[in-house]
C-alpha cells in the first residue's frame, strides 16, 4: 500500500491539519498544528489520544471512519505558556475503502467565543456534559474559576487572575452577558463596591497565600445599577507540583438576607429604645422569682440606680410585701398564660410601700426548661392615694350635708322642747295641761336620742343591735 501523501495544499493551510489512520495514529501533520496545540515534539506518529487530549477523541475518530459523518466543534484545551486556551477541531472522512483516513482540521477560537468554550467545554467535555451543564446552570449560585499564573507570588497579586469559567446564573443574578466577564479587562474587580474593593482583594490574596477556603461577603454592581450582596465561598486550586494556580468559588445572592438582617436590626433597635425609655417598668422574671432583665424605669421605681443592680434581687423576699402573693401570681399566669391588671403591694429599696399593677404573659424560653414571665409594672401608688383622698373628700361632703340636715332636725326638736318648757314655766296649770306639756318634752327628747343613735351608727362608733320587725307593723 502506497504511503499517504496529503500534498502541498494541506501543508500550506493557515489552520492546523492532521491525518489519522485506521490504527488511530497521526500519519501526517502540518507545522501550524504543532503551533496551535503547543506540542513539544512532532505530532506525526503519535496516537491520536496523545496528540489530541480530548477524553473521547479516539471514539470520535472511529465513528467518522465507520459512518463518514462529520463532527464539528470538538473543543480542545491547550496550554500556551502560563495560560490556557482553546481550539476547535472538525473531523471529516478522507479517502475510501482501505485508504480511508480522518482529516482533523484545527482552528483557533476568537476572543468572544472563549466565554462559551470556558463554560461549556472545559468543564463539561465528558459523555455526561449535558447533565452536568444543566446541573450547574440550575444552581441558584454563580460557579466560577480563575487561573493565577504560577510565576506570580500570591501575596503580591492584585487580581492577575483570568476567569476561565463562569456559570450561566451570572447573567440572571447580575444582568451582564457572560462574554463581558471574560473580555472586559478587570471586569470582576471593577464591579465590586468601592468601599469593599480593597478589603475583598486582600481577602482573595489571603486565600492564595494560606491555601485555605473562606467565605467573603461583599457588594457587586448589577447591570441595572443597584448593589447586590454576594457571599463567595472561595478556595485555592493547587497543581500536581503543589503550586497555587487558580481560584474556585461559588457566589450566593445574599441581598434578601442582608435586607432582612437590616430590617431585624432596625426593629431590635426600636424595641430596645422602647424598652430603655419606657416610662413604666418592664421586666422578665424567672420561675424562681429572680429578675432576668429589667429596664431603667423599673430600677428607678424600686429605688435602684442601675437596672443591672436588680440581677441579685429576690422578688419574693425583697420586693413583694407578701411572698405568697408572688407565688399566687405566677401560678395563675401558668394556668392562663397571661397576667391581666393584677394589683400587688411592693416595697421599694428604702422601705417605701408601693402599689403596683402588673400585666404580661408567660414566655417559653426553651422546649424543656421552665418558662419566664414578661411583665409590665405600673406604679399606681399615687393614683390610689389620690383616689383615697377623693373618697375622704366625698365623705366629708356627705358628712357636711348630713350635719346640715341634723342641725335642721335638732332645731325642730329644740323648738318643741323649748315651747313646751316655756308653757310649763308660766304655770300653774291643771294637771292635765302640765302632763301634756311634759309628754311633748319627753317625746322630743326621745326623737333627739334616736337621731343621736343614727349619727353614731353612721360614724360606726355604736354597736348595732339587730332586731326582728314585722312588716305588718310598719
pTM beyond 0.75, yes or no: no
**What is the helix, strand, coil percentage profile of the chain, to 5?**
45, 25, 30
> 411 versus 335: which is more confidently predicted?
335
| Overall average pLDDT of the 223-246 stretch | 90
**Per-residue pLDDT at 386 exceeds 80:** yes
> 204 versus 452: which is more confidently predicted?
204
Which pLDDT score, from 0 to 100, does residue 448 have? 76
- The interaxial angle of helices 381-426 and 431-458, nearest 10 deg, is 170
Which pLDDT score, from 0 to 100, does residue 11 have? 61
> How is residue 290 annotated by DSSP?
B
Which pLDDT score, from 0 to 100, does residue 137 have? 65
> 146 versus 395: which is more confidently predicted?
146
Of 73-82, 93-102, 305-314, 315-324, the poorest mean pLDDT is in 73-82
**Per-residue pLDDT at 57 exceeds 80:** yes
Rounded distance, CA 164 to CA 143, Å?
11
Which pLDDT score, from 0 to 100, does residue 55 have? 73
Which pLDDT score, from 0 to 100, does residue 193 have? 95
Of 240-249, 286-295, 342-351, the poorest mean pLDDT is in 240-249
| Overall average pLDDT of the 150-155 stretch | 51
Which pLDDT score, from 0 to 100, does residue 465 have? 65
> 272 versus 14: which is more confidently predicted?
272
| Overall average pLDDT of the 146-158 stretch | 59
Average pLDDT score, the chain? 81
Which pLDDT score, from 0 to 100, does residue 227 have? 96
| DSSP calls for 314-349 | BIIIIIBSSHHHHHHHHHHHHHHSEEEEEEEEEE-T
Percent of the chain beyond pLDDT 70?
80
Residue 434 corresponds to which cell in the numbers above? Answer: 302640765
Give me the half-sphere count of Cα atoms (radius 13 Å) on the Cβ side of residue 374: 6
DSSP H or E stretch at residue 164: strand 162-166
Neighbours of 392 (CB within 10 A): 10
**Per-residue pLDDT at 123 exceeds 60:** no
| Overall average pLDDT of the 298-317 stretch | 90
Amino acid at each position: 500500500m502506497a504511503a499517504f501523501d496529503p500534498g502541498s495544499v494541506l501543508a500550506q493551510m493557515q489552520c492546523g491539519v492532521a491525518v489519522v489512520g485506521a490504527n488511530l495514529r497521526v500519519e501526517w501533520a502540518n507545522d501550524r498544528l504543532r503551533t496551535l496545540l503547543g506540542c513539544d515534539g512532532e505530532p506525526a506518529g503519535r496516537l491520536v489520544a496523545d496528540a489530541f487530549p480530548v477524553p473521547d477523541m479516539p471514539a470520535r475518530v472511529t465513528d467518522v471512519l465507520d459512518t463518514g459523518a462529520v463532527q464539528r466543534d470538538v473543543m480542545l484545551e491547550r496550554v500556551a505558556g502560563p495560560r490556557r486556551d482553546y481550539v476547535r477541531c472538525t473531523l471529516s472522512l478522507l479517502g475510501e475503502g482501505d485508504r480511508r483516513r480522518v482529516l482533523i482540521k484545527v482552528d483557533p477560537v476568537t476572543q468572544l467565543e472563549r466565554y462559551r468554550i470556558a463554560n461549556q467545554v472545559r468543564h463539561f467535555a465528558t459523555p455526561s456534559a449535558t447533565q452536568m451543564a444543566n446541573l450547574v446552570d440550575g444552581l441558584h449560585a454563580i460557579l466560577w474559576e480563575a487561573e493565577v499564573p504560577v510565576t506570580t507570588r500570591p501575596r503580591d497579586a492584585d487580581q492577575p487572575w483570568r476567569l476561565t469559567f463562569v456559570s450561566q446564573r451570572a447573567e440572571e443574578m447580575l444582568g451582564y452577558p457572560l462574554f463581558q466577564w471574560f473580555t472586559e479587562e478587570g471586569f470582576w474587580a471593577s464591579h465590586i463596591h468601592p468601599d469593599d474593593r480593597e478589603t475583598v482583594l486582600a481577602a482573595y490574596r489571603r486565600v492564595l497565600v494560606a491555601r485555605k477556603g473562606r467565605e467573603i461577603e461583599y457588594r457587586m454592581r448589577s447591570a441595572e445599577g443597584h448593589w447586590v450582596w454576594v457571599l463567595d465561598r472561595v478556595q485555592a486550586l493547587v497543581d500536581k507540583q503543589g503550586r497555587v494556580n487558580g481560584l474556585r468559588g461559588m457566589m450566593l445572592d445574599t441581598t434578601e438576607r442582608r435586607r432582612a438582617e437590616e430590617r431585624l436590626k432596625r426593629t431590635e433597635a426600636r424595641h430596645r429604645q422602647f424598652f430603655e425609655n419606657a416610662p413604666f417598668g418592664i421586666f422578665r422574671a424567672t420561675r424562681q422569682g429572680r429578675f432576668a432583665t429589667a429596664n431603667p424605669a423599673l430600677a428607678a421605681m424600686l429605688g435602684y440606680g442601675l437596672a443591672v443592680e436588680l440581677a441579685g434581687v429576690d422578688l419574693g423576699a425583697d420586693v413583694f410585701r407578701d411572698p405568697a402573693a408572688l407565688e399566687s401570681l405566677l401560678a395563675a399566669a401558668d394556668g392562663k398564660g397571661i397576667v391581666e391588671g393584677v394589683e400587688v403591694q411592693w416595697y421599694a429599696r428604702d422601705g417605701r410601700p408601693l402599689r403596683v399593677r402588673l400585666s404580661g404573659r408567660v414566655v417559653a424560653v426553651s422546649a424543656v426548661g421552665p418558662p419566664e414571665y414578661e411583665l409590665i409594672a405600673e406604679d399606681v401608688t399615687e393614683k390610689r392615694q389620690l383616689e383615697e383622698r377623693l373618697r375622704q373628700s366625698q365623705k366629708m361632703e356627705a358628712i357636711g350635708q348630713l350635719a346640715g340636715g341634723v342641725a335642721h332636725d335638732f332645731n325642730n326638736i329644740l323648738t318643741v322642747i323649748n315651747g313646751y318648757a316655756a308653757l310649763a314655766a308660766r304655770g300653774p296649770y291643771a294637771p292635765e295641761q302640765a302632763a301634756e306639756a311634759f309628754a311633748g318634752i319627753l317625746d322630743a327628747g326621745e326623737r333627739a336620742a334616736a337621731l343621736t343613735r343614727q349619727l353614731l351608727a353612721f360614724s360606726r362608733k355604736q354597736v348595732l343591735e339587730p332586731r326582728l320587725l314585722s312588716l305588718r307593723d310598719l
